Structure 1
């Protein structure tokens, strides 16, 4: 799977940081240097640097060189809670039911989400997560098999997809979109809801250093979940909110 030019630049920078070649405070190549090295426009190089800065990996100051951000910033770059941990932390019993675990051909929409071509094989899972005797989340997930080749061999009643993917393709980036929807047929069936009842749906796309890992639709009964966030401000940079879903 070919990466876009700006994603190649991000992968290059992340690889140097993860390997220890570049440490906290080290200056990274400038926009001009990256543009020349990767044969791209300065705008493309700027996009890569700015996205890494927005994630807390780099620190950019006007009129100064771009540096590797502090470890404190990087540790809070991406905070995605595991639903099994959330439920157990509330002193409740967690269990999961695997409804679908299969390989299928990507339609145009899923192919676009995963950066693949239509018709490419993708892995698909549908899992219902329970708190005690209440169905709390319906998770529909599409996986890039190139980055998680053993996904279909996992027992997702013992480990969540989030836990497994973090172990084989550590997350470096995520995109969230939250929307209020009415319960569709699938949601009604597995979350024991009635037609027209409100739901909270989180669409989440995640990246590792090698590309897009997964696209997930996480649907919750509207009366059982709320969206929360926490903002951490640094002297020279505002971190993005670390979004979690809490009962």
Structure 2
């Protein structure tokens, strides 16, 4: 029997760390079955609820996938983003036990394009802030983030260092998110995207177009492009039966 350590780590977190360590070490390759809730209860001397929480969180993070009536298995090594929530990409990557880094390609003020003006409630060709960033998962380019930001809402945006703080983190702090809308579509990578994500010509990609709002109005309009072979979208829904 394996017991949780006495360092103050919650028992469910200790189980998650154990499972992640087995996956990262290669002991449990892709599609390997992981211990069941019952087996984890015996191994770690925990309740069924604790074991279930560990497996559920790893499933929601895209580390595992579950097959009803069969068990939980190691997912393919793609990053997964929750479809119905907005998460910081650095947190997504770190939740997988990986290292996030970012390379700032461009940070500037430019004339507002028509589509962006419409999205942010600005006037065409008036100044809008723009950032272009490549996000890395363990040194592998994962996502190309092109973001337009409303200068009226976030006047100090161009003064930030986005190599150490993501735009999501900064905007959440200075203009707390109250709502968002987004569109998800499959696109073919153009030459510019291929260059920054280091993928082959015309590889299928996922592009998420997202507009975020604070209480005062539209804050940002972003195009988040990821290689389809490295990224996926998913989520978990709790559904209350109709009585």
State the TM-score, normalized to the length of structure 2. Answer: 0.63
3-state SS of 1:230 partner = coil
Contact 2:101 2:139 in 1 (8 A): no
Cα distance in structure 1, aligned partners of 2:130 and 2:241 = 43
CA RMSD of aligned residues (A): 1.5
Aligned partner of residue 194 in structure 2, secondary structure: helix
Is 1:177 the counterpart of 2:175? The answer is: no
Match of 1:212 in 2: 218
Please show how residues 47-62 of structure 1 align to structure 2 within 5 Å: none
How far apart, in 2, do the equivalents of 1:152 and 1:83 lie? 20
Within a 5 Å distance, the mapping from 1:57-72 to structure 2 comes to none
Higher alpha-carbon Rg: 2
Matched residue, 2:28: none
Aligned partner of 1:140 among 140, 146, 155: 146
Q: Compute the displacement of 1:110 (Å).
A: 1.1
Q: Which residue of 1 aligns with 2:109?
A: 103
Whole-angstrom CA distance in 2 between matches of 1:232 and 1:150: 39
Aligned equivalent of 1:194: 200
Identify which of 223, 237, 247 aligns with 2:229.
223
Task: Give 1:79 deviation, angstroms.
Answer: 3.0
Inter-partner Cα distance in structure 2 for 1:204 and 1:218: 8
Distance 1:162 1:175 in 2: 15
Q: Distance in 1 between matches of 2:202 and 2:111?
A: 31
Map of 2:159 onto structure 1? 153
Gaps of 5+ in 2: 1-83
Per the TM alignment, residue 138 of structure 1 is displaced from its structure 2 partner at its CA by 0.3
Structure 1 counterpart SS, 2:94: helix
Gaps of 5+ in 1: 1-77, 237-247
Query: What's the secondary structure of 1:188's corresponding residue?
Result: helix
Q: Secondary structure of the equivalent of 2:235? A: strand
Tell me whether 1:121 sits opposite 2:121 in the alignment. no
